[in-house]
Amino acid sequence: MTIQPRRASNLLTGLGVIQCIPALIFGYLAISDFMAPPLSEARTWAYMSLIISAGCVLWAAVGLLSAYGLRKEKLYGWIIGLIYCVINAVFFLLFGWWQLGPIYIGVIWYLSRKQTRTHYMPIRSAPVEH
């Protein structure tokens, strides 16, 4: 069975796009809070929503960067993808969204398989004896 390098890339692209959903939600909250009267408490919390939205966008960009590296069959894509999925799995399992944790654990398993791992690792030839 040959490895399809695009399969891991497609998985991480989907996860990166899904990661943009909280960014959209918090961005909407920030915009609606900025429309509140000038000295209200909602206006103060608008900055927090904006910061969370920006953080979600940056984290989604990390997942998409990993997907791009996997599509180009680069080692950095495999490493970033593995770290991205481990951090997301721990985050979702710790903060009560245990339904999403197994998705990232499945992607970690897929990236860690010997077949996938050897595909993205550089091939080292045996030393030649003269």
Give the pair of three-digit tokens for residue 34.
Answer: 């900025």
What SS3 state is found at 127? coil
User: Taking residues 10-31, what's their average pLDDT?
Assistant: 88
User: Domain ranges in the chain?
Assistant: 5-120
Confidence band of 1 (pLDDT split at 50, 70, 90): very low
pLDDT of residue 43: 75
Would you place residue 82 in the very low, low, confident or very high pLDDT band (cuts 50, 70, 90)? confident
Which of the pair, 112 or 54, is modelled with greater confidence?
A: 54
Run of H or E including 51: helix 41-71
47: which residues sit within 8 A by CB, 6+ positions away?
A: 30
pLDDT for 32 equals 84
Q: What is the mean pLDDT of the chain?
A: 81
**What CA–CA distance (Å, rounded) separates 64 from 103?**
16
The DSSP secondary structure of 66-78, one letter per residue, reads HHHHHHTT-HHHH
Q: Which residue has the tokens 């997942």?
A: 63
Residue 95: the pLDDT is 83
